[in-house]
Structure 1
Amino acid sequence: MSFDRRLFLTLMGSAALAGCGAASSVRRDPIAHDPGFPEIEFANWTDAEPEYLLYPGDEIEIATPTASELTRTLRVGPDGRVALPLVGQVMAADRTLAELESDVSTAYASQLRRPAVEVTLRQAGPIRVWVDGEVRTPGVYEMVGDIDATQAVIMAGGVLPTARSAQAALIRRGPGGVRMIRPIDLRPRRGEAVAVRRGDIVFVPRSTLGELAAFFTQVRSALPIGFSYAIGGGNGFASF
């Protein structure tokens, strides 16, 4: 699906004139599947909450009603895995509770006659966002309470003099894991308060958001667990 680059830049310019909106009233920007970068696809923005995905640091209970001695309360490790008796390491991060139940049940199939599994989230772990681009200290930051994109950038030391603060972007994983993008204006007293969620990426370009293509190419193999996204493809989605 093609996207007119001029239309995208027009949207970026108009974002600065949109006024100050509440953090909870996110505008549904008409960002199409391909905002000018053929190698990077973005789904249309939606404010809908996707199904909860497990993250490193989450505390979960994995119960086996038919073999209660195997029930464990575990914390998802930094590598996204949990260690289970009999079967060893199982990937938990970026899985829904139902998906992890299915994975563990399959893993136990060779060990148990009736491998029923129930996974419960006991306590969510740290909530982190990634700030990159023209900021003083790019990296992954832990959120303390509810914050907006401007506050996330402040946590990263603020923008550099070379930053194009009026043409920043918020990248978020939407339903189904697809990437969504919306332009945001980070200029003091001119931008709007845009709330960030767990796993969001705030990107501040030097010139235009065309830099996003290079950004995603560079970090494709280095995205931390919990920041993986999916790109639309002809036969479904591929993680990235």
Structure 2
Amino acid sequence: MTFLRRLLVTLFAVCITGCVQHLDPQPHGARNFVPWTNEPVPYRLSPGDTLAIQYTLNPELNENELSIAPDGTITAPLLGTIMAAGLSVATLKSNMQQRYVAYLRQPEFDIVVRSYVGAQIYVGGEVKTQGVYPLKGVMDAMQAVVTAGGPIDSAKLSQAVLIRHRADGRPMMRTIDLRHYMNTADMSDHVMLQPGDLVFVPKTAIASFDIFIDQYLDKAIPFNKTLNYNMGSSVFY
């Protein structure tokens, strides 16, 4: 079973079993998910992101605009080609420092992200325009739905689903009552998004599992594999 199919089966289970604020992994529905936490998730670099590398003791090596190539690599001074995509800034710096030992006595430098081309979110389900959207600045789950054209008549905003990967790559899932947030501005449902988040708005009623698969799997979900979800990764097995 592909990750997309497993994800959609899990979302279906969420829709038919009721709304809970934090979903713990259960054998029948969410066994691939871990308990939700609000800890910040380090941004993982993506192709197209632009970096600056500033060397403390070797300013002649400074790079002010270093783009991550489509294959995920950068060309760093003295080191040549090195993989950057999929890594946090801290991990990339650690990898470079280990390699710089062969060239520099004191490899002291900072890495600054100039632009976050890969900072994206996915909005799907009962919205007007499903798809991948850039995460520009601060955005909450309701703003993401609005960015996708807003909910359609069949949307069940009270059980919107948010999926996020925590720092170790494992997926987390929770539901958000966007209807309650719209009506009351209750901050408990004011959830700020992070790069790679998936927001899914289910239908108000799903007549059968077959209809769900037909509508959401075979016809409706244009899931973009460029989103930072590492499709098919072993963490989902």
TM-score bracket for this pair, using the shorter chain length: 0.5 to 0.7
2:40 to 22, 46, 49: 49
1:168 to 150, 154, 160: 160
TM-score (norm 2): 0.65
Structure 2 runs not aligned, ≥5 long: 1-9
- Rounded to whole Å, the distance in 1 between the matches of 2:33 and 2:100 is 37
1:142 CA displacement = 2.4
- Rounded to whole Å, the distance in 2 between the matches of 1:147 and 1:226 is 17
Identity of aligned residues (%): 30
2:51 to 60, 75, 79: 60
Name the structure 1 match of 2:18. Answer: 13
Name the structure 1 match of 2:83. Answer: 91
- Rounded to whole Å, the distance in 1 between the matches of 2:231 and 2:170 is 6
Q: Does the 8 A contact of 2:24 with 2:30 survive in 1?
A: no
2:122 to 106, 127, 130: 130
Larger proportion of helix: 2
Tell me which amino acid in the other structure corresponds to 1:42. F
| SS class of match (1:169) | strand
Q: Does the 8 A contact of 1:101 with 1:117 survive in 2?
A: no
Tell me which amino acid in the other structure corresponds to 1:120. I
TM-score (norm 1): 0.64
Name the structure 1 match of 2:29. Answer: 36
Name the structure 1 match of 2:196. Answer: 199
The root-mean-square deviation of aligned C-alpha atoms, in Å, is: 4.1
Tell me which amino acid in the other structure corresponds to 2:194. R
1:46 CA displacement = 0.2
Task: Compare 95-104 and 118-127 and name the one that shifted more.
Answer: 118-127
Q: Deviations over 1:123-156 (max 9, x none)?
A: 3525432112232212222234422211101111
Q: Does the 8 A contact of 1:167 with 1:205 survive in 2?
A: yes
1:45 CA displacement = 0.1
- Rounded to whole Å, the distance in 2 between the matches of 1:54 and 1:119 is 15
| SS class of match (1:202) | strand
| SS class of match (1:103) | helix
1:33 CA displacement = 5.9
